[in-house]
């Protein structure tokens, strides 16, 4: 894997509305990260965690459907940037539908009708950049070749769109980290599929088939990382804009896990990807070629080839690049890191 710190560099876009929040000074070794996201309560936690991490320089957000429709997740992206005082960070609007099908629809029972746990936030005033998400992803990585990490927290439709329209994006990116998929464990959207991949399996098969440095942070690890009820209480009580927002957003999400998983706590799906960027040693990965099922009742299932990766490989996996698939995690360490960053 090419996990290396890179010099700080701004993305080429700037917001179309004059910023109330000039960019704070950034560490010269902060790693530029573009986050593609469907906020989403756990997306909100991940983004606020990234913005609280001096090791990372968030150079833009691109939005996608998933937990809610794209217009809703875009509004939420701006709310999160306002909360963190980072309206200098550009937002680009992504696609409204998967590349080959229609959007499956929101999940208000998990993330609320507003996508943020029915937090009833005021409407943000900022406007997105003119470029769509796929163009923005390409142009951002092209402005700093080999330096930008692209992190996806929702369906990977925008990234697939970028590969299709701008094939050189594959060589320009430093690396890709995907929250999604399930290699050796059951799904959470269906018995076989994880929610982000299930929302656009065709896009995921394209993204996992591209020849770039890519890591899958899927249910194999994210369902091992639970933020306890006590830690949730501490985060929600923290006297900061982050604590105030999460105190409104987390309760519905928390009750979903209590009702469906019987736990007093929440799985840290999207925040685990930020932990992976900050502390990759807390994770174990396996280099496997991956296919994504696009047909039948296991549509959306990520299938690794655990066996031969040479010419003896079954045709469906032959010539596929290797994906770093996370299968192990120091769950205590990751949950502790998430709490520490959200209570800074
Ligand atoms: O399966 C978990 C993923 O689905 C997370 O990204 C969550 O936000 C939802 O999109
Ligand atoms: Ca998400």
In a domain, 23, yes or no: no
In a domain, 279, yes or no: yes
In a domain, 176, yes or no: yes
Burial 43-66 (b: 16+ CB within 10 A, else e): bbbbbbbbbbbeebbbbbbbbbbb
In a domain, 329, yes or no: yes
In a domain, 20, yes or no: no
269 is catalytic: yes
Rounded to the nearest angstrom, the distance between the alpha carbon of 257 and the centre of ligand 2 is 15
Closest-lying ligand 1 atom to the alpha carbon of residue 189: 1
In a domain, 26, yes or no: no
E-assigned strand segments in the chain: 31-37, 56-63, 91-92, 149-152, 175-179, 214-217, 226-228, 265-267, 283-292, 302-304, 322-329
Residue 7 has a pLDDT of: 27
Per DSSP, the three-state class of 156 is: coil
> What digits encode the pLDDT tens for the residues 306-341?
987 677 888 999 989 999 999 999 999 999 999 999
**Number of domains observed in the structure of the chain:** 1
We report the CATH number of the domain holding residue 158 as: 3.90.245.10
38 is catalytic: yes
Q: What is the pTM of this model?
A: 0.92
Q: Which residue out of 139, 220, 269, 270 is catalytically annotated?
A: 269
Helix (H) or strand (E) holding 49: helix 41-51
In a domain, 4, yes or no: no
Rounded to the nearest angstrom, the distance between the alpha carbon of 212 and the centre of ligand 2 is 22
First to last CA, the chain: 30
Residue 23 has a pLDDT of: 58
Rounded to the nearest angstrom, the distance between the alpha carbon of 184 and the centre of ligand 1 is 18
Determine what percent of the chain is predicted with pLDDT higher than 70.
91
> What digits encode the pLDDT tens for the residues 75-108?
999 999 999 999 999 999 999 999 999 999 999 9
In a domain, 141, yes or no: yes
Enclosing domain of residue 301:
31-342
């Amino acid at each position: 894997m090419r996990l290396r710190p890179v010099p700080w560099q701004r993305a080429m876009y700037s917001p179309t509305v004059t910023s109330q929040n000039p960019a704070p000074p950034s560490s010269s070794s902060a790693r530029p990260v573009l986050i593609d996201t469907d906020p989403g309560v756990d997306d909100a936690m991940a983004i606020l965690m990234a913005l609280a991490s001096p090791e990372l320089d968030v150079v833009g957000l691109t939005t996608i459907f998933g937990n809610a429709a794209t217009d809703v997740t875009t509004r939420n992206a701006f709310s999160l940037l306002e909360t963190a005082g980072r309206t200098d960070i550009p937002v680009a609007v992504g696609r409204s539908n998967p590349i080959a099908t229609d959007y499956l629809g929101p999940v208000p029972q998990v993330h609320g009708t507003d996508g943020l746990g029915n937090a009833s936030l005021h409407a943000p005033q900022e406007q997105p950049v003119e470029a769509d998400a796929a163009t923005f992803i390409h142009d951002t990585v092209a402005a700093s070749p080999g330096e930008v990490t692209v992190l996806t927290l929702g369906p990977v439709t925008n990234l697939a769109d970028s590969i299709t329209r701008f094939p050189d994006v594959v060589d320009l990116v430093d690396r890709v980290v995907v929250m999604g998929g399930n290699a050796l464990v059951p799904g959470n959207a269906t018995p076989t599929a994880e929610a982000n991949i299930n929302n656009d399996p065709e896009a995921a098969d394209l993204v996992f088939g591209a020849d770039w440095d890519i890591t899958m942070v899927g249910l194999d690890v994210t369902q091992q990382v639970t933020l306890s009820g006590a830690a949730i209480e501490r985060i929600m009580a923290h006297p900061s804009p982050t604590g105030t927002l999460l105190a409104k957003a987390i309760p519905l999400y928390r009750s979903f896990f209590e009702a469906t998983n019987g736990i007093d706590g929440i799985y840290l799906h999207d925040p685990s990807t930020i932990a992976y960027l900050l502390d990759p040693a807390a994770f174990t990965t396996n280099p496997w070629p991956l296919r994504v099922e696009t047909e039948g009742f296991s549509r959306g299932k990520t299938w690794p080839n655990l066996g031969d990766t040479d010419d003896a490989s079954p045709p469906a996996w032959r010539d596929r690049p290797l994906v770093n698939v996370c299968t192990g995690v120091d769950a205590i360490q990751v949950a502790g890191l998430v709490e520490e960053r959200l209570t800074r």
